[in-house]
Amino acid sequence: MSYTRISDLPEDIQERLPEHAQQMFVAAFNAAQRDGMDEDSAVEVAWSSVRNEYESNSEGRWQRKPEDPAIHHKAVVSGGN
């Protein structure tokens, strides 16, 4: 099974995840299946991808994690001779 659109996702996933997270889920799931994973493993990969950028709030709805400015704005320092 693969999902061609986010509207193909189970209703509970559509209700809980924002649209971007649904797109991530579909892409990760389909990539895992193309790599030969079974459906259960592909679902785990998809959820793992979502958890990298989103977190569940107390109501069970998912929201994007706050960015860590230290990661995105590190200065590049090169060594010298």
pLDDT value of position 69: 64
CATH topology of domain 12-66: Rna Polymerase Sigma Factor; Chain: A (1.10.1740)
Name the residue ranges covered by the structural domains of the chain: 12-66
State the average pLDDT for the chain: 88
What are 7-28's pLDDT values in tens digits?
999 999 999 999 999 999 999 9
Q: Which two tokens stand for residue 37?
A: 């994973």
pLDDT value of position 55: 95
What are 23-45's pLDDT values in tens digits?
999 999 999 999 999 999 999 99
Cα dihedral 48, 53, 56, 57, rounded to 10, equals 170
Give me the half-sphere count of Cα atoms (radius 13 Å) on the Cβ side of residue 74: 7
| Cα angle 65-71-76, degrees, rounded to a multiple of 5 | 160
Q: Is the dihedral of CA 2, 4, 8, 9 positive or negative?
A: positive
